[in-house]
Amino acid sequence: MALQAALFPSALSVPKKKGHLAAAVKDTSFLTVPQKKLQVASLSVRAQAVATAPVATPGASTSTKDSKKTLRQGVVVITGASSGLGLAAAKALAETGKWHVVMACRDFLKAAKAAKGAGMADGSYTIMHLDLASLDSVRQFVDNFRRAGMPLDSLVCNAAIYRPTARSPTFTADGYEMSVGVNHLGHFLLARLLLDDLQKSDYPSRRLIILGSITGNTNTLAGNIPPKAGLGDLRGLAGGLRGQNGSAMIDGSESFDGAKAYKDSKICNMLTMQELHRRYHEETGITFASLYPGCIATTGLFREHIPLFRLLFPPFQKFITKGFVSEAESGKRLAQVVSDPSLTKSGVYWSWNKDSASFENQLSQEASDPEKARKLWEISEKLVGLA
């Protein structure tokens, strides 16, 4: 911890004043794994290059035809890339040589170990601190990312927590229930702030991807395993998801259910993707997408579940439901959504069949309700300080 604090002071305290912030990010080299220079045009992630870095602007690399010939390396930000799906996708993308991966993680040292352990090549990634349980940290991440001078071509909102056995809520730095605070609100702010950066990119296909899940969709068997997801009329969210002075559940229920809170947060993720599509796709050309990568039963997502569940869940999914997918395979699926030239359609929720072929999947009625999406958007804007 002491080492982490020394390396990364903001892991412990988030500077509030602008001056402090500027000072804290002056030398951004401590944020990076500074090896080879990025092959992103002539950009470097090193701090000294920040001031002069020619950030890519729309049209800067002339026509799409030209950019195809000399397609520069893309930059993708993946939240929660220190484990599970995020790590596997980071590895898959970095290995192609076509992508530089910004691993946006809450635990710098864990992420560094994970990248090394996964065999990711030095120079193919940069680690930057992001704790989605703090809106200050989200803003600081955006600031740090911009100062590093990289373009943004793709953003993957992947990080999540699942508290299946929790019977009482925990809260983010801003006082919101943790599962919805991290999985939805933190990502909502991040996505909104980084839209500008995606828009500035000259990359041929810019994408914003938010992880969804089958368990938030009640039009599936898996989505009908209790407790079922359901946002109700969003009264709990509108009340600020504060346990003591109101409900910590989106639907306003009095009792807290950690498993439901997670599934609710996934509905929010899928609704947000569609609302982004409605509001911004036509104007910006950015592709907005969500996906269910399959049941990756071995990831850290289940770390808080009871040991018996963790033991039985993988064979149950492998041999009984056949919904199991390995971390490596799921990583390839997510990498496809980031970079496959055929997956440019916006507003889509992708899934895969047994042969790992992607298809456009149908969301449940609630997870595709435009009125609910609009209401969720407006309340979320207030909660994250954008309205």
Phi, psi of 103 (to 5 degrees): -90, 105
Minimum separation from the CB atom of position 291 to ligand PMR (A): 12
What SS3 class is residue 317?
helix
**How many residues of this chain bind ligand NDP (CB under 6 A)?**
31
Residue choice 313, 347, 369, 381 for contact with ligand LMG (CB under 6 A):
313
Q: How far apart are CA 123 and CA 118, in angstroms?
A: 14
Query: Residue 189 binds which one of ligand LMG, ligand NDP, ligand PMR, none, with CB within 5 to 8 A depending on kind?
Result: none
Minimum separation from the CB atom of position 254 to ligand NDP (A): 26
The footprint of ligand NDP on residues 179-238 (CB under 6 A) is 182, 211, 213
Residue choice 48, 255, 321, 356 for contact with ligand PMR (CB under 6 A):
321
Query: Residue 321 binds which one of ligand LMG, ligand NDP, ligand PMR, none, with CB within 5 to 8 A depending on kind?
Result: ligand PMR
Measure Cα distances from 272 to 227, 253, 268, 351, 369 in Å: 22, 22, 6, 18, 11
Contact region for ligand LMG (CB under 6 A) — 128-136, 272-280, 303-311, 334-342? 303-311
Q: Measured over all CA atoms, what is the biggest interatomic distance in the chain, rounded to whole angstroms?
A: 58
250 binding ligand NDP? (CB under 6 A): no
333 binding ligand NDP? (CB under 6 A): no
Helix (DSSP H) and strand (DSSP E) numbers for the chain: 15, 8
Measure Cα distances from 106 to 4, 23, 341, 355, 385 in Å: 11, 20, 31, 34, 22
Query: Residue 323 binds which one of ligand LMG, ligand PMR, ligand NDP, none, with CB within 5 to 8 A depending on kind?
Result: ligand PMR
Q: How far apart are CA 130 and CA 141, in angstroms?
A: 6
Residue choice 33, 160, 194, 384 for contact with ligand NDP (CB under 6 A):
160
Q: Are strands 125-129 and 207-211 parallel, antiparallel or unpaired?
A: unpaired
**Residue (of 77, 317, 28, 342) closest to 205 by Cα position:** 342
Q: Which residues bind ligand LMG (CB under 6 A)?
A: 164-165, 225, 259, 306, 308-309, 312-313, 315-316, 319
